[in-house]
Amino acid sequence: MIPNTFDYHAPKTLKKAISLLNEHEDAKILAGGHSLIPLMKLRFASPAVVIDIGRVSGISRIKIADGQIHIGALTTHHAIASNARLRRVCAALPETALEIGDAQVRNRGTLGGSVVHADPAADWPATMLALRAEFEVGGPSGTRTISAGDFFVDMMTTSIQDGEILSQIRIPVPPANTGSAYAKIHQSASGFAIAGVAAQITLDGSGNISAAGVAVTGVAPIAYVASAVESALIGNSPDEATLTSAAALAANDASDANEDLHASGEYRKHLATVLAGRALTSAAERATS
């Protein structure tokens, strides 16, 4: 459990980090380290250069302004989990953070790191998709914004280019009468999601669902938006019958289902529907409270 040799840099600005990343061909960004370092210790990843962005300023704050929740890429899961304001404004955010790993992992792991790593069983990608997050990404030729829907391409593959660094995550502040939630079933060894569902529901003046964001992780090679569930919710009252029949569609948009020693594809798809029911029920309750 000892990594191969590597060169280490710890730039203090994002600009310097981007420049280092583009200067070295075989370089990896180190954020919280709880995905990268285990891989390096297993020698499954052996970058020649490690660029530690832990000292870069300005990318680890949580701020609510201009109708957006701004979360720096380097914000730890713990910071999100323990943020009381987020619990009131967008409950799915701290709720997701609390489901990750354990206390030690949450103290070090970051939202940005998790999102860029795009593990098929990571929790954040589902929540980012359900909340319609946007990612601000900096590269040698400037900054661009990628929507969550365009960001997660395939297993551990995002549309971030070599040479770019994720700096900020933006989530629209949910309007009034919105509730969100995250429900997960843990793999008993690793704690990763066998399945996880994030849901956000907004109710209109007559109490019907006017907007819905639902996404699933752990089931398919990468987290996906459960469009069939969203469509089945819009315009309907958030009663048990609606939520149950919508939740039953949670696996419809899975391109493929993961399978391994712990769970078959069929079981994962089933869990997606059960967790969708739980997340939707919780989100609906929060929308009216």
Residues that bind other proteins (CB under 8 A): 1-2, 4-5, 28, 35-36, 39, 42-47, 117-118, 120-121, 153-157, 159, 161, 185, 187-190, 192, 221, 255-256, 258-264, 267, 270-271, 274
Pick between residue 69 and residue 128 the one whose CB is nearest to other proteins.
Answer: 128
Minimal distance, residue 118 CB to other proteins, in Å:
7
Give SS3 for 172: strand
Identify the burial level of 250 via C-beta atoms within 10 angstroms of its C-beta, where 0-12 means exposed, 13-18 middle and 19 or more buried.
buried
Minimal distance, residue 85 CB to other proteins, in Å:
28
CA distance 277 to 63: 31
Minimal distance, residue 150 CB to other proteins, in Å:
11
Pick between residue 154 and residue 239 the one whose CB is nearest to other proteins.
Answer: 154
Q: How many residues does the chain have?
A: 289
Pick between residue 245 and residue 267 the one whose CB is nearest to other proteins.
Answer: 267
- The per-type count for the chain, helices as H runs and strands as E runs, is 12, 14
Pick between residue 84 and residue 261 the one whose CB is nearest to other proteins.
Answer: 261
Minimal distance, residue 88 CB to other proteins, in Å:
27
Minimal distance, residue 149 CB to other proteins, in Å:
14
Pick between residue 72 and residue 221 the one whose CB is nearest to other proteins.
Answer: 221
Pick between residue 190 and residue 288 the one whose CB is nearest to other proteins.
Answer: 190
Q: Which residues of 40-72 are buried (b: 16+ CB within 10 A; e: fewer)?
A: beeeebebebbbbbeebeebbebebeeebbbbb
Minimal distance, residue 261 CB to other proteins, in Å:
6
* CA 218 remoteness from chain centre: 12
